[in-house]
């Protein structure tokens, strides 16, 4: 993994694979340019137009003295991880709760689980409040578990969550646990034998459509957006101002925000090897002939010994309703997917993962899958670049030793349950309101010198939780 973490991070690549959600790209915002040249000066430059950058911009607007700001995006608007993800607003907090309680203490673990739950609710509420048409589904999700050790530890971890937050049994700690037979009947998993199922609150949406909605509101309120404008270099002047070089000129700014997720190491050397790109992959399956006509009623994850897949049925009324979006399968690639780390190449797909993901639906659903759709099983497949940190937490705050360089990045495969609240927290920090964050924002998410010393060793929380051997 050392070798993969040391691969130099690049700018986002040209001609990426085409993600379902961006097909076609939004005609109004995809190639938006406020002007042919960037301004010479701005109060704030935000780099990156994914869910993080767009919500940072939105939150800045809530402050009366937000000043003039400019957003730069290397490719089309929202064409990074957000525009190519599964759109699963699903926390699975029970899978990290025990590890977090062990390394940070129960209070901090509760804070993280609450933030994840609040983030899901906030994203859904925001989409409804501002009428963003993003194929929103709010409802339950189910984790089908195939490994006994994963199952035993999951049940124990849920017990620990319930004990730690008795006042949240109907929300953050609401889990319904089903045995093997009930799981088979209730969730159509008639293929491979599972151990049981765990159901809880979650949702799904088109993250691309959500962010396009946010970006349109930002632009309408006077925010400047420059797509197809990579920031190629950052430099701090003697006057304390930052210079951001682009192919459309140089913009000088009082402060710069990196919302560049897996690409952050390119502009800020401190994050090389500390935010490690990881390529994720998705296949979209047309529903098999025996799938319920009205579509599946929840989203799913399939958890096995050393990995998982997540699966989102496209809700009724959306484009390609009933299609099944499946992501994951990393460990099925050569050497358990090690070569997917360190790469920023989302212009190709991994053939091993593609083969594995293509075969998942009949394997999990057995006879309830049936013959493939007449047009073939796979409608589309693509890749996207995530950012992973050594301790599995995002980096939020002012970059140590770099005054007025702020960042919100490294959301692992989990941005839909982290970015909304982290963008809100970052803007509060930028406004000097850090005290207000004490009650809800985990210290573990703040960027610090200490965290930057940690060594990257791969993804966390995918193997069976180590419950019982740790205090």
Ligand X SMILES: Cc1cc2nc3c(=O)[nH]c(=O)nc-3n(C[C@H](O)[C@H](O)[C@H](O)COP(=O)(O)OP(=O)(O)OC[C@H]3O[C@@H](n4cnc5c(N)ncnc54)[C@H](O)[C@@H]3O)c2cc1C
5, 12, 137, 333: residue in contact with ligand X (rule CB under 6 A): 12
4, 88, 114, 124: residue in contact with ligand X (rule CB under 6 A): 88
User: Mask: binding to ligand X, 34-53, rule CB under 6 A, as x and -?
Assistant: -------------xxxxxxx
DSSP-assigned letters across all residues of 83-102: GGS--B----THHHHHHHHH
209 binds ligand X (CB under 6 A): no
Residue 257 to residue 467: CA distance in whole angstroms = 39
Least distance (Å) from ligand X to the CB of residue 25? Answer: 13
Least distance (Å) from ligand X to the CB of residue 279? Answer: 7
- Based on C-alpha coordinates, what's the Rg of the chain? 21
Q: State the number of binding residues for ligand X (CB under 6 A).
A: 46
DSSP alpha helix (H) spans, 259-326: 264-267
Closer to ligand X by CB, 72 or 199: give it.
72
CA 276-218-411 angle, to 5 degrees, is 20
Closer to ligand X by CB, 17 or 153: give it.
17
74, 251, 330, 426: residue in contact with ligand X (rule CB under 6 A): 74
Closer to ligand X by CB, 277 or 362: give it.
277
User: Mask: binding to ligand X, 382-411, rule CB under 6 A, as x and -?
Assistant: --xxx----------------------x-x
Closer to ligand X by CB, 81 or 195: give it.
81
Q: Are strands 249-258 and 137-145 parallel, antiparallel or unpaired?
A: unpaired
Residue 270 to residue 266: CA distance in whole angstroms = 9
327 binds ligand X (CB under 6 A): yes
Which are the contacts of 76, defined by CB distance < 8 A and separation ≥ 6?
22, 25, 30, 31, 83, 227, 228
Q: Six-digit token pair at 80?
A: 């990074």
Which are the contacts of 269, defined by CB distance < 8 A and separation ≥ 6?
none
Least distance (Å) from ligand X to the CB of residue 171? Answer: 19
Closer to ligand X by CB, 184 or 285: give it.
285
Least distance (Å) from ligand X to the CB of residue 426? Answer: 11
Locus of tokens 């990045």:
409
Closer to ligand X by CB, 189 or 422: give it.
422
Least distance (Å) from ligand X to the CB of residue 100? Answer: 17
Residue 280 to residue 346: CA distance in whole angstroms = 9
Residue 86 to residue 205: CA distance in whole angstroms = 8
Closer to ligand X by CB, 53 or 315: give it.
53
Residue 137 to residue 146: CA distance in whole angstroms = 26
244 binds ligand X (CB under 6 A): no
Q: Give the DSSP letter of residue 327.
A: E
CA 323-207-416 angle, to 5 degrees, is 110
Closer to ligand X by CB, 188 or 411: give it.
411
- C-beta of residue 352 within 8 angstroms of C-beta of residue 334: yes
Q: Count other Cβ atoms within 10 Å, centred on residue 137.
A: 24
Binding range to ligand X, per CB under 6 A, among 29-37, 60-68, 80-88, 449-457: 80-88
User: Mask: binding to ligand X, 147-186, rule CB under 6 A, as x and -?
Assistant: ----------------------------------------
Omega prior to 377 cis, within 30 of 0? no
Which residues bind to ligand X, rule: CB under 6 A? Answer: 11-12, 47-53, 72-75, 79-82, 84-88, 230-231, 259-261, 263, 266-267, 280-282, 310, 327, 384-386, 409, 411, 413-417, 419
């Amino acid at each position: 993994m050392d070798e993969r973490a040391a691969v130099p991070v690049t700018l986002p690549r040209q001609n990426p694979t085409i993600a379902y959600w961006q097909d076609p790209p939004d005609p109004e915002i995809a190639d938006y340019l406020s002007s042919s040249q960037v301004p010479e000066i701005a109060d704030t430059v935000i780099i990156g137009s994914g869910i993080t950058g767009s919500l940072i911009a939105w939150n800045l607007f809530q402050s009366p003295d937000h000043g003039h700001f400019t957003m730069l995006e290397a490719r089309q608007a929202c064409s990074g991880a957000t525009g190519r993800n599964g759109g699963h607003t699903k926390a699975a907090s029970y899978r990290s709760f025990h590890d977090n309680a062990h390394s940070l203490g129960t209070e901090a673990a509760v804070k993280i689980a609450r933030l994840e739950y609040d983030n899901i609710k906030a994203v859904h509420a925001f989409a409804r409040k501002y009428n963003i048409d993003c194929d929103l589904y709010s409802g339950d999700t189910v984790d089908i578990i195939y490994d006994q050790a994963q199952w035993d530890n999951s049940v124990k971890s849920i017990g620990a969550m319930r004990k730690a937050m008795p006042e949240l049994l109907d929300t953050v700690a609401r889990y319904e646990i089903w045995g093997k037979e009930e799981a088979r009947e209730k969730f159509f998993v008639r293929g491979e034998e599972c151990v049981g199922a765990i159901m809880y609150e979650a949702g799904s949406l088109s993250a691309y459509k959500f962010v396009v909605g946010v970006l349109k509101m930002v632009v309408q309120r006077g925010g400047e957006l420059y797509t197809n404008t990579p920031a190629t270099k950052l430099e701090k002047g003697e006057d304390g101002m930052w210079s951001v070089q682009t192919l459309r000129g140089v913009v000088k700014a009082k402060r710069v925000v990196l919302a560049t997720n897996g690409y952050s190491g390119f502009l800020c050397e401190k994050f090389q090897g500390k935010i490690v790109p990881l390529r994720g992959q998705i296949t979209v399956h047309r529903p098999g002939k025996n799938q319920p006509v009205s579509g599946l009623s929840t989203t799913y994850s399939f958890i096995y010994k050393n990995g998982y897949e997540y699966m989102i049925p496209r809700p009724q009324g959306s484009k390609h309703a009933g299609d099944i979006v499946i992501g994951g399968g990393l460990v099925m690639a050569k050497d358990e997917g090690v070569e997917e780390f360190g790469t920023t190449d989302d212009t190709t797909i991994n053939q091993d993962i593609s083969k594995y993901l293509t075969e998942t639906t009949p394997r999990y659903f057995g006879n309830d899958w049936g013959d493939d759709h007449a047009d073939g099983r796979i409608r589309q497949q693509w890749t996207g670049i995530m950012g992973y940190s050594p301790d599995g937490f995002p980096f939020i705050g002012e970059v140590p030793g770099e005054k007025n360089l702020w960042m919100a990045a490294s959301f692992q495969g989990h941005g839909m349950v982290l970015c909304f609240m982290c963008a809100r927290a970052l803007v509060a920090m930028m406004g000097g309101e850090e005290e207000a964050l004490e009650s809800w924002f985990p210290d573990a998410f703040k960027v610090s010198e200490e965290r930057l010393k940690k060594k990257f060793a791969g993804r966390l929380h995918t193997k069976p939780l180590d419950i019982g051997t740790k205090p």
